[in-house]
Amino acid sequence: MLFVGPRISSITLQGMVRKEAIYELKEGETLENLFKYSGGLSAVASTNAVNISRIKPFKDRNQELVFDRFLTTVNYSTLNKTKGFVLTDGDVVTVQEILTKQKNKVFIGRNVNAPGSYGLDIYKDLKTLINTGAKGVSINTYFSKISYY
């Protein structure tokens, strides 16, 4: 006969991690342990803002409180990994995604032969971008009226 006791804690992990799930952690286990159990963070995870939604413990609740849950944001990249951020029963951990914006990127469109995004590290000026990157101006371009933004 095998007896499985009640769950010690339920920690919900969601967002940009390898395995979103509800995990059971022992008392004193940290955010670092949780990420290890989930297989780690995904490549697009933002470590600057890991949100932990926590329920107030029973002993700290009273009738005057309007909210029984509060949000803590942790910068995981600067977190002291030896001390860690200890998780408790009912925590919901959400890992945000990094920004989709890119540096050194320019988009050229409309009347060029190859519209699209190009890196500024190769095309230093507009003329090089149009002639080399975008493969020149389309033959149906009306040069008498040119708009500048």
Q: Output 80 or 2, whichever has higher pLDDT.
A: 2
The percentage of residues in the chain with a pLDDT greater than 90, rounded to a whole number, is: 44
Specify whether the CB–CB gap between 90 and 25 falls below 8 A.
no
Residue 147 has pLDDT above 70, yes or no: no
Specify whether the CB–CB gap between 51 and 16 falls below 8 A.
no
pLDDT of residue 38: 95
pLDDT of residue 66: 74
Domains of the chain (ranges, CATH numbers) = 11-97 (3.10.560.10), 102-140 (no CATH)
